[in-house]
Structure 1
């Protein structure tokens, strides 16, 4: 127990539940961004998109993702890291689902730009939560934990997405 003012507070392990949720957010983040890579050949054929155009579509995600890292960190500091992470997850989930409604090159670019905008908030929000919820001696472990979600998400994504595509079509993994 630690004294704070005139009351005693007991440290709980709830922060580790938060760490696992941050890990899950990053894992899902990477599954969502891998969807297009797996579905690209089918999307190109069905939406009549050239290889060059598909390259532009795939890179468009990173234009906004890279550009909005710092503004996302500012937003997280301004509204709170938990709120910004929830907003980021909701935003990128919606944009991922909207990918299934894409009808061509232009709509795919627009959706991917918006997806990058939403995903840009994940790491700054997680870093802020880590700084506020975890003591100094645990921060490196937590950062390593939530970052490992990117590797797990990437590893799980391809088999999962290809399975869903083969059973239900290219749109289902996005939904």
Structure 2
């Protein structure tokens, strides 16, 4: 049975996101065992955690351009197989350099995945449905990991950390074959006239978002106060996320003294909270827009509230019971989920013909949090005390809140520069 309707397509994206994040974060489940087996310091583990983001961030704009020219049905299975093979190799190496190389390879091949997800949703869903669709597939990174954390911990218990990577990689390769078998481009299988009309309208939206990749546009993308507001917000939001995706299980195992299996079970609770947050935010935001509320309220309020709640991670520094620690961490990650619809601001604020370029800059700067934060935490926790690390994450969340309040300001689209201001370097294909 082919995925010829938008809900089937959304299910394919959701599962792909789950597998995507499984291969990003299985390193966090295995981190304690790897550091002991390979005699790695916290700083070295921080380098391994951040290596994924080195290539992932750099390849955001090129990855989006690849998505423009290669059909998703071909591209997605290819990158799935490629990053899954790198995951398997990760389970076979025994040196810091090789481990870093594998993480960089995974980041390289995962880079086009979210631009591809965005392209698929743009083709299959109308504008009023997109925040909800984005919320659904974004929730895959939370709900998938919530249930996978205990499973991954159990796999490691049975097969060791090397077996964990090998099993994860095999799952990705199998899913690549399933994706190719089920997915069809919208124009291939959709016969319903109304749906065809919707897709034609979506393709017009995509063409309107094309961008002249010129020095003038690049200057505009990096000189607007409003855009820097959402860039900083994305970096701060990503800092909370990357803590949970990398150091969080180590925090539970080493600082709170839990075993690997118990760590896997407790680690799932904040991910469930984040799952609830992102779905609540996405569906509520779209509902408010349909009811006629302004973007100031419908889009911005969940992000500001979410970043405020993310700052509550600091509360875990002042309590001792596991239940209370879990409460503060879950509340912080719930807030992170609430704020995860912030991608919608790219289309609301960016100049009409620069959505792709601004989206690439937005995700690139957000990705820098995954480059810097794991290493920074590695330095901060060298003496075994995680309190400075949690203080850093909480402070960055509040900085992101300030960026949305004081830099972004009113939600309105930035006008394009005039042709005279924006004529250098020629035209290239854009991101979607």
TM-score scaled to structure 2, two decimals?
A: 0.36
How far the C-alpha of 1:13 sits from its partner, in A, is 5.8
Pairing partner for 2:98 from 83, 107, 127: 107
Pairing partner for 1:31 from 22, 26, 47: 22
**Larger Rg: 1 or 2?**
2
- What is the CA deviation profile of residues 85-124 of structure 1, one whole-angstrom value per residue up to 9, with x for unaligned ones? 2222222211111111111101000000001111111110
User: What are the equivalent positions in structure 2 for 1:139-158 lying under 5 Å apart?
Assistant: 139-158=130-149
CA distance in 2, matches of 1:112, 1:83: 23
Structure 1 segments unaligned to the other structure (5+ residues): 1-11
Q: Which residue of 1 aligns with 2:32?
A: 41
Q: Which residue of 1 aligns with 2:6?
A: 15
TM-score scaled to structure 1, two decimals?
A: 0.86
Pairing partner for 1:171 from 162, 165, 172: 162
Structure 2 segments unaligned to the other structure (5+ residues): 167-432
How far the C-alpha of 1:168 sits from its partner, in A, is 1.4
- What is the CA deviation profile of residues 41-91 of structure 1, one whole-angstrom value per residue up to 9, with x for unaligned ones? 111222232222111111111111111111111001111233222222222
Of 69-78 and 80-89, more deviation after overlay is shown by 80-89
Q: Which residue of 2 aligns with 1:51?
A: 42
Contact kept in structure 2, 1:131 and 1:139, CA below 8 Å:
yes
1:91 maps onto 2:71 in alignment: no
CA distance in 2, matches of 1:34, 1:129: 24
Report how many residues are paired: 164
Query: What secondary structure, in the 3-state scheme, does the structure 2 residue paired with 1:170 have?
Result: helix
User: What are the equivalent positions in structure 2 for 1:53-92 lying under 5 Å apart?
Assistant: 53-92=44-83
Higher RCO structure, 1 or 2 (CA under 8 Å, sep 6+): 1
CA distance in 2, matches of 1:167, 1:124: 36
Contact kept in structure 2, 1:99 and 1:111, CA below 8 Å:
yes
Of 157-166 and 76-85, more deviation after overlay is shown by 76-85
Of 16-25 and 127-136, more deviation after overlay is shown by 127-136
CA distance in 1, matches of 2:128, 2:101: 42
CA distance in 2, matches of 1:139, 1:86: 24
Query: What secondary structure, in the 3-state scheme, does the structure 2 residue paired with 1:56 have?
Result: helix
